[in-house]
Amino acid sequence: MNSTPRCLFRDWRTFACSLRFQSSVRGSEDNQLSGWRKSFKERGEWTSKFELFSPKTSSEGLIMRMIRAPIDLRPGVIKRWWKNKKEEYEMFEQSYIPDRHEILGNDLAAAHFVMYRGGKVKFSNENKWRAGKEHGLPNQKEPGYDLEAVDASDVNLYYQGLFNFKDLKYLKSLRLRNCRHMDDWCLDYISGELGTLEELDLQNCQNITERGLACLYRLQHLRYLNVNGIPQNRSFELTCLLLEETIPGLTIEGVDYVKQ
């Protein structure tokens, strides 16, 4: 018996055609397999109407990243985390509560808010300041309590807390000394909401710049502005000068226009 293998192809052309045919068959099989790996939606098959309510993005990636992330228990990291949580709680606690203003009225609600946090208030029909945690204040709306002055110096007041000063039609004086969270956004809200202000004390509010100071042009009744202890530059001094020219009778304390 002859052990020599028999040639399957007559010539090289037949061999090349056979290779092309095998490659085309193999490609069609690969395409079919890749189609089986697609989801129902990608293959164009029927899906339920509840598909409209399914989330567009999966949270699986975020959850896995949180699980795999290393836990840092260094004292500095824990201290910073606790500080951020305390600030978040204080911001939430100072948020505007419509029911409180509905029951007390805007003036009494603002007075309760300030005195509870260690500040002082004065009403238009009184000559002395009230201090302490809501000492002697009514627990419901009463006539005759028109809030005239607020002293929130050294109070840990955030931007969210300023919403409690809403619609104070008789407020003339606002003192915010050493309020480290006061910034340009806070001045923007104050200038837009407290149009009756005549006195504004911003001493040692380090986060205030000339951009926030420029918003005070809206306070056309303003007569006194204290900016002592605020970092200043040429733009800050120029803004103060423009404010004095824009608001008649305004005096700004704590800025030196002739500084070289």
Which residue ranges form the domains of the chain, and what is each CATH number? 75-253 (3.80.10.10)
Torsion of CA 38, 43, 49, 54, to 10 degrees: 30
Chain centre to alpha carbon of residue 42: 40
pLDDT at residue 76, rounded to an integer: 84
Quote the pTM value: 0.69
pLDDT at residue 25, rounded to an integer: 56
111 neighbors 137 (Cβ within 8 angstroms): yes
Largest Cα–Cα separation, the chain: 129
Instruction: Specify the amino acid at residue 166.
Output: K
235 neighbors 210 (Cβ within 8 angstroms): yes
pLDDT at residue 84, rounded to an integer: 85
Q: Residue 45: CA atoms inside 13 Å, Cβ hemisphere, count?
A: 6
pLDDT at residue 16, rounded to an integer: 60
* Low-confidence residues in the chain, pLDDT < 50: 1-7, 9, 45, 260
Question: Cα separation of 172 and 170, whole Å?
Answer: 6
236 neighbors 211 (Cβ within 8 angstroms): no
110 neighbors 141 (Cβ within 8 angstroms): no
Question: Cα separation of 15 and 182, whole Å?
Answer: 85
pLDDT at residue 74, rounded to an integer: 83
pLDDT at residue 113, rounded to an integer: 93
Environment class of residue 203 by beta-carbon count within 10 Å: exposed (0-12), middle (13-18) or buried (19+)? middle
Per DSSP, what are the bridge partners of residue 15? Answer: none
Which residues contact residue 140 at a Cβ distance below 8 angstroms, ignoring those fewer than 6 apart? 103, 104
Pairing state of beta strands 251-253 and 130-131?
unpaired
Question: Cα separation of 158 and 164, whole Å?
Answer: 11
Dihedral sign, Cα of residue 112, residue 113, residue 118, residue 121: negative
Phi, psi of 253 (to 5 degrees): -105, 135
